[in-house]
Amino acid sequence: MKIVIATGVVAFLTITYHWAALASERCDASSRTGDVCLCELAELHPTQAAVGMAEVQIRAQKLSRQMQGRSEKEFLAHLRKHDRIEPVVIGPTGALYITDHHHLARALYELGQATTYCEVLDNLSSSDSDGFWKHLQDANEVYLKDRGEVVKPSQLPTSIMDLRDDPFPSLAGAVREACGIRKEEGRSPASNYLEFQWADYLRENWAKTSIPIDQINAHFDAATNAALELATKKEAGALPGYTGKTSCR
C-alpha cells in the first residue's frame, strides 16, 4: 500500500510539474524582457495594417513542407532553431504586439498552426495606451501607414487574421529575395518595416510599369521583374538596403 501511495504521489508531482513547466513557457503579463515563450497566434496584435498575401502564400508553402514528418512539438523546435520567432512587446492588459515577422505569423495561421514561439523585447504592461504607442513609435516598432495612407494606432487590425492584403510588400519581399534589397542579419529596430519603405517607393512609382495594380498578384513574376527594374533606379538609392542588383548572381 505504501508503495502505491508513494507511486501515486510521484505521479501527481510529475504531472503537476509538467503542467507548471508548460504554464511557465506561455507568454503573459509577467514575462520578462528576453524571455522566449509560447504564444497563441490568434492573440497576437499586429503593428502594421497589411501584409502581402502573395508572400504569405509563398511562405506557407515552404512551411508546409517543413511540417511534413514532424510532430507539433518538433515543428515548434524547428522554428525556434531557425530563428522563426515572433518578436513581441507586451502592452497594456498584457496584450502581445508583434513588431516583425507578420508574414510568418499569418502563414502559420493559414496552415492551422495554433501556437508559435515569441521573444519578449519589452514589457510595457503597466503603461497607459498613449505612453505605449509613443514608445513603439520612438523605437520604430510600429508602422502607421495602410497602403500608403497614414493611420492611427486605433485603426490597426487587432488580430493577424484581419491583416489586409497589399501587393507591394510582396513585391518588396521578392526584390529582397533577388538581392535587390539587403536586410541586415539579426534583429534591430533600424531594419523594422524596411520592406514597407520599399513597398511605398514601388507604389509611388508603379505607374511607370505596364501592370495594373489589381493584376500584380495574378502576374506576380512579371510584376517582380518590373519591381526589380524600379529598385535599380537612381531615386531608389537613398532607401535602406539598396543594392542596385536585379539578381543574386
DSSP code per residue over 81-100? HTT--EEEEE-GGG-EEE-S
Does 23 have pLDDT greater than 90? no
Query: CATH no. for residue 114?
Result: 3.90.1530.10
Residue 146 belongs to some domain of the structure: yes
**pLDDT at residue 171, as a whole number:** 96
Nearest-angstrom CA–CA distance, 229 and 247: 11
What does the mean pLDDT of the chain come to?
88
pLDDT, average across residues 44-72: 95
What is the tens place of the pLDDT at every residue in 109-153? 999 999 999 999 999 999 999 999 999 999 999 999 998 899 999
Domain count, the chain: 2
Residues 184 and 152 in one domain: no
Residues 78 and 151 in one domain: yes
Does 98 have pLDDT greater than 90? yes
Residues 103 and 149 in one domain: yes
What is the tens place of the pLDDT at every residue in 28-37? 999 999 999 9
Residues 75 and 186 in one domain: no
**pLDDT at residue 188, as a whole number:** 59
Residue 9 belongs to some domain of the structure: no
Residues 175 and 151 in one domain: no
Q: Regarding beta strands 115-123 and 36-40, do their DSSP bridges make them parallel or antiparallel, or are they unpaired?
A: antiparallel
Domain termination residue (choose one: 113, 141, 165): 165
Q: What is the DSSP letter of 169?
A: H
Residue 68 belongs to some domain of the structure: yes
Q: Which domain holds residue 195?
A: 167-236
Nearest-angstrom CA–CA distance, 228 and 154: 34
Residues 114 and 215 in one domain: no
**pLDDT at residue 4, as a whole number:** 40
C-alpha cell at 53: 498575401
Residue 18 belongs to some domain of the structure: no
**pLDDT at residue 187, as a whole number:** 60
pLDDT, average across residues 182-210: 83
C-alpha cell at 70: 514532424
